[in-house]
């Protein structure tokens, strides 16, 4: 076999290996997005299940508890409608987190003056008053700590899951969780 043919074989094998490696490393959400683009509506349900805790946590850190679930639905509806505008499917989590943050900001811009009902009148929807008080303390914290703390403490996501889903680096999530927990303990009067 001449050297040029051997080189071509190696080159083609190298490309096939690179393509196979890229396919093997493909994130689960990328495969789901491809299925959605091919018309598989059930794949969107799977994508929702995968990312709903992240979106819920981001919104819980920013908007009133009673509004969160409706806005979660809005975020996913917007994502579904605009999925074709996503340039890199590997960044879906970060893109979705940005939609959630923007939707929370829109909520506050459009917020009308109103008076909330007390828990006795309106009911706390299964959430204890203490939990709501702690949530208010978390909401008063810097934004970097708010989201990561809610995703960890309320949604039960690990640091690695938070990083993967939000597009943040693992190191920044780790630091934000550590500093956020220290500040939360201080504000709640726990510890030293």
Instruction: Quote the strand ranges of the chain, DSSP E.
Output: none
Residue 119 lies in a domain: no
Instruction: Look at 20 and 149; give whichever has higher pLDDT.
Output: 149
Number of domains in the chain: 1
Mean pLDDT of 153-178: 91
Report pTM: 0.69
15-19, 132-136, 151-155, 168-172 — which is least confidently predicted? 15-19
pLDDT digits (tens, 9 = 90+) for 23-48: 445 789 999 999 999 999 899 999 99
Residue 3 lies in a domain: no
Residue 88 lies in a domain: yes
- Residues contacting 46, CB < 8 A, separation 6+: 32
- The confidence score (pLDDT) of residue 22 equals 53
Query: Which residues form the domain of 133?
Result: 27-109+127-188
pLDDT digits (tens, 9 = 90+) for 57-105: 999 999 998 899 999 999 999 999 999 999 999 999 999 999 999 999 9
8 confidence band (pLDDT: 50, 70, 90): low
DSSP letter for 154, please: T
Q: Are 75 and 100 within 8 A, CB to CB? A: yes
CA–CA distance, 168 with 106 (Å, rounded to integer): 23
Is residue 140 classed as helix, strand or coil in its secondary structure? Answer: coil
In DSSP notation, 28-74 reads HHHHHHHHHHTT-HHHHHHHHHHHHHHHHHHHHTTS-HHHHHHHHHH
CATH code of the domain covering residue 103:
1.10.1740.10
């Amino acid at each position: 076999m001449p050297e040029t043919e051997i080189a071509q074989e190696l080159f083609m094998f190298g490309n096939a290996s690179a393509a196979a490696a890229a396919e093997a490393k493909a994130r689960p959400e990328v495969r789901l997005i491809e299925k959605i683009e091919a018309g598989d509506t059930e794949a969107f349900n799977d994508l929702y299940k995968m990312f709903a805790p992240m979106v819920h946590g981001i919104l819980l850190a920013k908007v009133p508890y009673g509004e969160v679930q409706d806005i979660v639905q809005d975020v996913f509806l917007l994502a579904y409608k605009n999925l074709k505008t996503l340039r890199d499917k590997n960044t879906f989590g970060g893109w979705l987190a940005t939609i959630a943050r923007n939707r929370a900001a829109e909520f506050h811009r459009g917020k009308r003056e109103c008076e909330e009902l007390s828990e006795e009148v309106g009911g706390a929807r299964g959430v204890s008053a203490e939990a709501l008080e702690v949530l208010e303390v978390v909401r008063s914290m810097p934004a970097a700590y708010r989201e990561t703390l809610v995703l960890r403490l309320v949604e039960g996501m690990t640091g690695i899951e938070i990083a993967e889903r939000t597009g943040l680096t693992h190191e920044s999530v780790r630091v934000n969780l550590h500093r956020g927990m220290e500040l939360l303990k201080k504000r709640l009067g726990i510890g030293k």
